[in-house]
Chains A and B, each alone.
Chain A
Amino acid sequence: MSSLADFAADLASGSITVVDLTQTLSADFPTITLPPEFGQCAPFRLEEISRYDSRGPAWYWNNFSCGEHTGTHYDAPIHWVSGKDFPNNTVDTIPASKFIAPAVVIDCSKETAGNHDFVLTRAVLETWESRHGHIPAGGWVLLRTDWSKRSGAAYANMREDGAHTPGPDPEAVRFLVEERDVLGFGTETIGTDAGQAHLFTPPYPAHFYMHGKGRYGLQCLCNLDLLPATGAVIVSPPLKIQGGSGSPLRVLALVMA
């Protein structure tokens, strides 16, 4: 118990800082867009119930609506067909212990700045490992692209042939899952996969392989630039939606000052 007390003291003293990795939930924040004949993820919407007025004289509150995959959100394995048969693959059944885990940050912001279609390859990961050591098992791998510093159209970066945003290739994902046994993969973009990931084999490899092995996803993260390459601890409990495939959530990182 002394270590938790130390932890609390470190938090209080500021020797451990808390970094908010969450985008603000608002109607303006871009949402995943599929071809229109498919079902669509609802964007975030807020309807005022009352605001100290005739609808409720002393209180202010809203109803909100959104999809499970709106804003900064968590992907459970059941989200993808490859993960549909895992036990405990929904947000309400995933063991709570999985919601606090260490993270490494792969900084590809320089590469991404000049290449919207930057692909995270096994080679990039190996180069990173050569500097920072092996990616630890059971932790998050967060891809830093500084994409979260963009907004609106630049963030969604949609063209006639779809979105152009960075993401991993199949080999990189398989490496992380099969050879490094990571807990999950997180990005600053709308999805864990690249904007053009439908062109990979298999399409959407981050979804396919991560969820296919019972791993998790985090997307629409921000402030990854405030995290060290190694040593941060991520707190990421999704809403306990019965049978839920994911959920908007608050993602916090604990960092030694």
Chain B
Amino acid sequence: MVPPPKRKNPLRRTQAPLLPPSARSRTALGITAAAAQGRFVLQVCAACETVQYPPREICGACLGDELAWRAVPSEGTLLAATTIRISGDPYFRERMPWRTGTVAMDAGPTVIAHVQASLVPGDRARLVQKLDRAGQGVMVALPLAATHDSLDDPMMRELTNDPQDRRVLVTDGRHPIGQAVARALLAAGAHVVLGIADIWKPFASVDGAEMIELDLTDADSVRRCAAAYGGRLEIVVNTGLYTRPGGILARGDLTTARVEMEAAYFGPMRLAQALGPALRSRAADGTHPACAWVNVLSVYALTNLPSWGTTSASQAAALSLSQALRADLRPIRVVNVLVGPLDDEWHQTVPSPKVAPTALATAIVRALRDGIEDVAVGDVAQDILARWLDDPKILERELAT
């Protein structure tokens, strides 16, 4: 395991937040898409079933042009490995030595991959697809049997966002999600700073968390938080999921919609503008650099659920904001956690299944540890996501009934 971070030497310049090479063909982004969700896929030829790699336009076995991304067996044998000690690329140059190798997959292709330290040529290996600090999907060879801790080395730290020994701001301690996420992060070994809006109202502290005043709707409060914590946070989890029932016409005014937009869109934007630059500048700072920004979003950000019409619209704005942040905050990983109805006071009239805040918190910790950036938590979110991926128009119609 990577030991806890040492105190910083104030005389040393902070390592610059560089990106690994990020150019890819459009086709190769299929791996990025899979890695974003923690899946493993390769192209498979519809005509001859040949598994392809590197990503292709045309089957290397039969010239077929239908190459769909499919889950394939990810095991293979490490044939050769090297420890690169000199690289012309600035990102890798700062991270030398770096281990890569050649894996012959049981499924057929030969893959050049990042190779975990304990693997040696001849070993059986399991390939996974991870996002690197540029946000691009890469192939990583891991030992077949490995624990979370045994894999925790500097290379894997570049490909994951483990909260262990990192300082995490959880924005909304008033929300059941914020409370649950704070507890889950504490259990995962993080130092948690938990924000409380309207500190003059009663609130429940979380044992072990540092409670601070933070109201994303208040520019001054956000500024104060950034001034105090901007330089000493590695992860931000925006848990202020503000969902209220009501369609556009039923609402009849904009009061709640404005509050929704403040909570989902303007508030997080304010926080990103205040914390983002400092966070990004520390994205290569030491052994536990700043690494992730998590947004909890309603799955109805994808497609509007008219009975929660204004909430859905604000969540769509939040999702769009999050996509923009992905580019702006790089190499900070922006993780979108899509969730269906929560098991909370606002979803009393919504039938099960609903997501317990603790389940959501567990999923967030897992996503950080695994380096995933798109997560759908719970049966409803996964169902909506699957329908959306299948056909957004059909889903729009389904939800509009």
Q: Quick one: which of B201, B215, B253 contacts A27, CB cutoff 8 A?
A: B215
Q: Quick one: which of A47, A153, A155, A159 contacts B219, CB cutoff 8 A?
A: A47
Instruction: Decide yes or no: A40 and B259 within 8 Å by CB, A27-B218, A46-B219 being known contacts.
Output: yes
What residues of A have a CB within 8 angstroms of the CB of B259 in the complex? Answer: 40
Chain A residues bordering chain B, tally (CB within 8 A): 20
The answer for the CA separation of A156 and B199 in the assembled complex, in Å, is 10
The answer for the CA separation of A136 and B45 in the assembled complex, in Å, is 94
Interface string of A176-216 (1 = CB under 8 A from B): 00000000000000000000000000000000000000000
A45 and B201 form a contact (CB under 8 A): no
B201 and A158 form a contact (CB under 8 A): yes
Q: How far is the CB of A56 from chain B (nearest CB, A)?
A: 16
The answer for the CA separation of A52 and B220 in the assembled complex, in Å, is 18
The answer for the CA separation of A153 and B205 in the assembled complex, in Å, is 14
Q: Is the interface of B mostly helix, strand, loop or mixed?
A: loop
Interface string of A108-145 (1 = CB under 8 A from B): 00000000000000000000000000000000000000
Can you name the residue of chain A whose Cβ is closest to the Cβ of B218?
A: A27
Q: Quick check: is B255 within 8 A (CB to CB) of the other chain?
A: yes
The answer for the CA separation of A152 and B200 in the assembled complex, in Å, is 4
> Across the A-B interface, how many residue pairs have beta carbons closer than 8 Å?
44
The answer for the CA separation of A153 and B201 in the assembled complex, in Å, is 6
B200 and A153 form a contact (CB under 8 A): yes
Can you name the residue of chain A whose Cβ is closest to the Cβ of B259?
A: A40
What residues of B have a CB within 8 angstroms of the CB of A33 in the complex? Answer: 198, 201
Q: Quick one: which of A39, A46, A155, A158 contacts B256, CB cutoff 8 A?
A: A39
Q: Quick check: is A53 within 8 A (CB to CB) of the other chain?
A: no
The answer for the CA separation of A30 and B202 in the assembled complex, in Å, is 12
Can you name the residue of chain B whose Cβ is closest to the Cβ of A65?
A: B258
Can you name the residue of chain B whose Cβ is closest to the Cβ of A156?
A: B200
The answer for the CA separation of A152 and B198 in the assembled complex, in Å, is 8
Taking residues whose C-beta sits less than 8 angstroms from the other chain, chain B's interface range is 10 to 19
Q: Which of chain A's residues 41-64 have a Cβ closer than 8 Å to chain B?
A: 43, 45-48
B256 and A153 form a contact (CB under 8 A): no
What residues of B have a CB within 8 angstroms of the CB of A156 in the complex? Answer: 200-201
What residues of A have a CB within 8 angstroms of the CB of B201 in the complex? Answer: 30, 33, 153, 156, 158
What residues of B have a CB within 8 angstroms of the CB of A30 in the complex? Answer: 198, 200-201
What residues of A have a CB within 8 angstroms of the CB of B202 in the complex? Answer: 153, 158-160
Q: How far is the CB of B176 from chain A (nearest CB, A)?
A: 13
A48 and B219 form a contact (CB under 8 A): yes
B219 and A45 form a contact (CB under 8 A): yes
Q: Quick check: is B303 within 8 A (CB to CB) of the other chain?
A: no
Interface string of A7-32 (1 = CB under 8 A from B): 00000000000000000001110100
Residues on B facing A (Cβ under 8 Å): 198-202, 215, 217-221, 253, 255-256, 259
**New contact pairs (20) apart from A45-B218, A153-B199, CB-CB < 8 Å:** A26-B220, A27-B218, A28-B200, A28-B218, A30-B198, A30-B200, A33-B198, A33-B201, A39-B256, A40-B255, A40-B259, A43-B218, A45-B217, A46-B219, A47-B219, A48-B219, A153-B202, A156-B201, A158-B200, A160-B202
Q: Which 10 A-B pairs have CB atoms at the shortest separation, nearest pair first?
A: A27-B218, A152-B200, A156-B200, A153-B200, A30-B200, A39-B255, A158-B201, A158-B202, A27-B220, A47-B219
Can you list 15 A-B contacts (CB < 8 A)?
A: A26-B220, A27-B218, A27-B221, A28-B221, A30-B201, A39-B255, A40-B255, A45-B217, A45-B219, A152-B199, A152-B200, A153-B199, A153-B200, A153-B202, A159-B202
